[in-house]
């Protein structure tokens, strides 16, 4: 492995941490089509917060990591890793355009004997049925004769400072036994907790997509329970605490399912299953239930306001947080937007406060005005804690509420004596 030179294509939440990690052992080039993103990284700053600026600056200063938009800079690499997004379209159908584009990029620079490994979450078969043919067409090379492939699904958890990329146990695979060993060895060389070598690329692909689908289904069950118990005027979290005293009860909480993984990836398997004549009823129902939870929360807020005689029309409402999860700037598929949209049908006096979110990005993506600074002198008819950022624990939330106002806790982290409702 002395002559390995790695290229990571896609420098987002997945690609950049991986590129930085690989650069500790191998010459590594990070490639991205976004010039402003590359410029930012080369100054030693990562706006996603996934890579510590000091670590990034050290890697760049020592020239172990270079970020670029120039194809010529990656032509001399021989181990290509694709880490681009795999979104869905407006009809929740898999959008493989980023993968096809990345595969074209690989095809333009790949040489005989090189390996391309995909990390993007896909349904079983995408690597060899959708991506590799693109590489073959563009490069003119023959798969498993001139070049080889692998699949190692990403397991990045945005904002998680405990399960960082070097500590994650990775699944690996390869298109031949020899390449599977090579891919496994390279990943093993930079990981603290090693790897699990899957018997095939399709098995590795399937393993990733069921990780997120399982979580989606489990959360959907808890959300359904929350709806049932709320209708019965029973506190869901009290029920969970009681049930959790049994040794084999799996303790989970209801909540909003956003982000680029759990709220998206199941659709890939749902569509592929139907191609094979299987209707994935449980997965489909879970997706539909979880996608509707933002609107449900808004309706619960309105219900709490009505009980206190607060006029919802033109009410002053504060939403704390808009990112899809705590202590993270990622706003992809955030369900806080659904809360905002439902409440905005009744009032335009909604303030969204989130010190983690990029104001311009939120405005561009959702046309919602967000503030990074909160005036504690302002008072609201309702305060909704949507995201459990650590910084919110320092807020005197009750002081933000007018007399007879309400506090609704989506995350179930606030003291019971200050809230009027929680999921």
193-221 average pLDDT score? 95
As given in the structure block, the two tokens for residue 237 are 């979290």
Four-residue CA torsion sign, 18, 21, 26, 27: positive
Average pLDDT, the chain: 94
**159: pLDDT confidence band, cut at 50, 70 and 90?**
confident
pLDDT of residue 2: 62
Instruction: State yes or no: pLDDT of 376 exceeds 80.
Output: no
Query: Is residue 185 classed exposed, middle or buried when 0-12, 13-18 and 19+ CB atoms within 10 A define those classes?
Result: middle
pLDDT of residue 133: 98
As given in the structure block, the two tokens for residue 292 are 């509707």
| pLDDT single digits (tens) 134-155 | 999 999 999 999 999 999 999 8
Active site residue: 7, 67, 131, 261, which one?
A: 261
**40: pLDDT confidence band, cut at 50, 70 and 90?**
very high
| pLDDT single digits (tens) 260-303 | 888 889 999 999 999 999 999 999 999 999 999 999 999 999 99
Coil/strand/helix, residue 80: strand
189-193 average pLDDT score? 95
For residues 262 and 216, is the Cβ–Cβ distance under 8 A?
yes
Q: What percentage of residues in the chain have a pLDDT greater than 90?
A: 89
**163: pLDDT confidence band, cut at 50, 70 and 90?**
confident
Instruction: State yes or no: pLDDT of 1 exceeds 70.
Output: no
Per the annotation, the verdict on 391 as an active-site residue is no
What does each C-alpha distance from 29 to 89, 266, 329, 330, 373 come to in angstroms? 30, 31, 25, 24, 38
């Amino acid at each position: 492995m002395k002559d390995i030179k790695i290229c990571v294509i896609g420098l987002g939440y997945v690609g950049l941490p991986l590129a930085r990690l690989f650069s500790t052992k191998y010459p590594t080039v990070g490639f991205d089509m976004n010039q402003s993103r590359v410029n930012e990284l080369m100054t030693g700053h990562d706006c996603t917060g996934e890579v510590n600026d000091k670590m990034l600056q050290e890697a760049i200063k020592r020239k172990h990591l270079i970020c670029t938009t120039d194809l010529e800079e990656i032509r001399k690499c021989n181990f290509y890793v694709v880490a681009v997004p795999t979104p869905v379209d407006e009809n929740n159908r898999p959008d493989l355009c980023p993968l096809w584009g990345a595969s074209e990029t690989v095809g333009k620079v790949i040489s005989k004997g090189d390996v391309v490994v995909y990390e993007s979450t896909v349904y079983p078969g995408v690597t060899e049925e959708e991506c590799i043919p693109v590489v073959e067409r563009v490069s003119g090379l023959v798969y498993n004769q001139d070049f080889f492939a692998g699949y190692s699904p990403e397991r990045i958890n945005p904002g998680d400072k405990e399960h960082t990329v070097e500590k994650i146990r990775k699944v690996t695979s390869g298109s031949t036994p020899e390449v599977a060993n090579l891919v496994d060895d390279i990943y093993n060389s930079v990981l603290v907790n090693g790897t699990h070598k899957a018997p095939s690329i399709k098995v590795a692909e399937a393993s990733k997509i069921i990780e997120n689908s399982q979580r989606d289904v489990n959360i959907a069950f808890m959300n359904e329970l929350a709806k049932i118990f709320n209708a019965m005027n029973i506190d869901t979290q009290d029920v969970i605490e009681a049930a959790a005293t049994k040794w084999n009860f799996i303790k989970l909480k209801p909540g909003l399912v956003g982000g680029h993984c759990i709220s998206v990836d199941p659709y890939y398997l749902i569509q592929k299953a139907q191609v094979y004549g299987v209707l994935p009823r449980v997965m489909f129902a879970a997706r539909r239930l979880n996608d509707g939870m933002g609107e449900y929360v808004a309706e619960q807020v309105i219900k709490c306001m009505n009980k206190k005689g607060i006029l919802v029309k033109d009410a002053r409402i504060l939403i704390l947080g808009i990112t899809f999860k705590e202590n993270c700037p990622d706003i992809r598929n955030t369900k806080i937007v659904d809360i905002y949209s439902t409440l905005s049908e009744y009032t335009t006096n909604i303030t969204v406060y989130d010190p983690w979110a990029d104001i311009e990005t939120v405005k561009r993506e959702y046309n919602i005005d967000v503030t990074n600074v909160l005036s504690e002198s302002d008072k609201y008819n309702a305060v909704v804690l949507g995201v459990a950022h650590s910084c919110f624990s320092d807020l005197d939330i009750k002081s933000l509420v007018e007399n007879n106002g309400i506090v609704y806790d989506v995350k179930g982290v606030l003291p019971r004596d200050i809230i009027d409702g929680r999921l």
